[in-house]
A and B are shown apart, each in its own frame.
Chain A
Amino acid sequence: MALFEARNLDCRRGGRDVFAGLSFSLPAGGALLLTGANGTGKSSLLRLLAGLLRPVGGAILWDGQPIDAEPGDHAARLHYLGHLDAVKPVLSAKENLRFWAALRGRAASIEPALDHFALSALADIPGRLLSAGQHRRLALARLLASPAELWLLDEPSVGLDHASVGKLAEAIAKHRAGGGRVVVATHMALDMPGAEPLSLDALAPPPLPEMVW
């Protein structure tokens, strides 16, 4: 089975070092739980892993191949859920989901995905009438509507009620049982048995010595 790993990643945003020397490896069925204070680079790391950002140093490898060697292949095997839900206000919940699932081109299963996050009753409601939590559930339904090996989830439980957080944990467990991998950044307790914690607090670069002019 392929290995997903990061070696010695350095990340710099806006001229400021965010973290340095980050390494991990994630086997099939594995989960990585990113923790750390605000601003320690959890979101940046997820964007690096998705290929939206490029690291200043180090490498991200899938099965030994750098992910930027074939960006299209990498994009096809991952789901990235960022802070934004990509829900169009004038399209219904179902139309929103159908578009993203169809774009990924695999056998899409819209109904079960809507059903899992209790959105079936809202399927024909336009996005602008959905609440923040419902938007989030619709974004999460994308994960189930088309299969992908790697889930990159940035604060997936923001705005969710208790029942939905449970449903999310259930979806992640099922994804992992099928050999899927998941990297989650969260501040909220999310039930993920056997998840490997990765704290970014310790990886912050030392503060620069005071410049003397």
Chain B
Amino acid sequence: MSGLVLIVGRDLRLALRQSADAWLAVLFFVLTGALFPFGIGPEPSLLKLIAPGVIWVVALLAVLLSLERLFLADYEDGSLEQLLLSPLPLELAILGKVLAHWLTTGLPLIAAAPLLAVLFNMDMAGLGVLLLAMLLGTPILSLIGAIGAALTLGARRGGVLIPLLVLPLYIPALIFGVGATDAALAGLSARPDLMLLAALLLVMLVITPLAGAAALRQALE
């Protein structure tokens, strides 16, 4: 367990010292979201309608943008080799790295989401559920993305491959994430969607360490 904490601590420290990377995802999130009103016109009722969907899709793309650096730097400088040969199980090391990735990418996105909600004139009654759904959903994005990042290590132009691998797998999280917020906005219970998101999160918490470790071992052969 202390090994996990060490990895999270190191990755957070690295992210803080290279804070440009962390800002990139948030700025991308806000700027891309702000483009939509220009593209589809400033009709308030229309913007209100599409707000949850746009916020989720843009969050998903922002996470995608940050995935390549998840393992690549460690792979290139030999740290991954040393991690694999440390007494800490590789599965736990991956969980630590994904947790640090979420803390530096997913969490800032959640913090910036109210800004986009206001820009889109979203009904503030749905904001709580939107944030809760993102709290459950963005870790899923990091977890699924980690498998894609691990699989494309060592492949030429691997970073371009990640979206192709990962985007289709993001669809369930997108559906339930938007579904929860839409339900709350329509005055229905968001509970079923949130429960499905939570279930998806639990499943990925098991699959990602196993699949990721297998992919990293393969990459280091």
- Measured CB to CB, the residues of A under 8 A from B are 50-54, 72, 75-76, 78, 80, 82-88, 90-91, 95, 99-100, 102-105
Contact = CB atoms under 8 A, between A and B. Distances in A.
Interface stretch (B81-89, B145-153, B156-164): B81-89
A82 B2 CA distance: 26
Contacts of B191: none
Interface centre among B3, B85, B221 (most CB of A within 10 A): B85
5 contacts: A52-B84, A52-B220, A72-B87, A85-B78, A103-B86
Contacts of A51: 85
| Top-8 shortest CB links A-B | A84-B78, A90-B17, A76-B87, A86-B78, A86-B79, A75-B85, A86-B82, A103-B86
A198 B221 CA distance: 23
Interface in B39-87: 76-79, 81-87
A103 B77 contact: no
B78 A82 contact: yes
For chain B, the bracket of interface size reads 20 to 34
Contact of B86 (A54, A75, A84, A85): A75
Contacts of B195: none
A52 B6 contact: no
B6 A80 contact: no
Contacts of B155: none
A190 B77 CA distance: 26
Interface of B: 2-3, 6-7, 10, 13-14, 17-18, 76-79, 81-89, 220-221
Nearest to B93: A103
B6 A102 contact: yes
Given A99-B6, A99-B10, A80 B87 contact: no
Contact of B77 (A53, A72, A76, A87): A87
Contact of B78 (A72, A76, A83): A83
B221 A53 contact: yes
A88 B86 contact: no
Nearest to A139: B78
B221 A86 contact: no
Contacts of B7: 103
B85 A90 contact: no
Q: Quick one: which of A85, A91, A99 has the most chain B CB within 10 A?
A: A99
B180 to A, nearest CB: 38
A105 B87 contact: yes
A78 B82 contact: no
A127 to B, nearest CB: 9
Contacts of B87: 72, 75-76, 103-105
Contacts of B13: 91, 95
A139 to B, nearest CB: 8
Given A72-B87, A72-B89, A76-B87, A84 B77 contact: yes
A85 B88 contact: no
A54 to B, nearest CB: 8
Contacts of B3: 103, 105
Given A52-B85, A103-B87, 12 more contacts: A50-B85, A52-B84, A75-B87, A85-B78, A86-B81, A87-B77, A88-B14, A90-B17, A95-B13, A102-B6, A103-B88, A105-B3
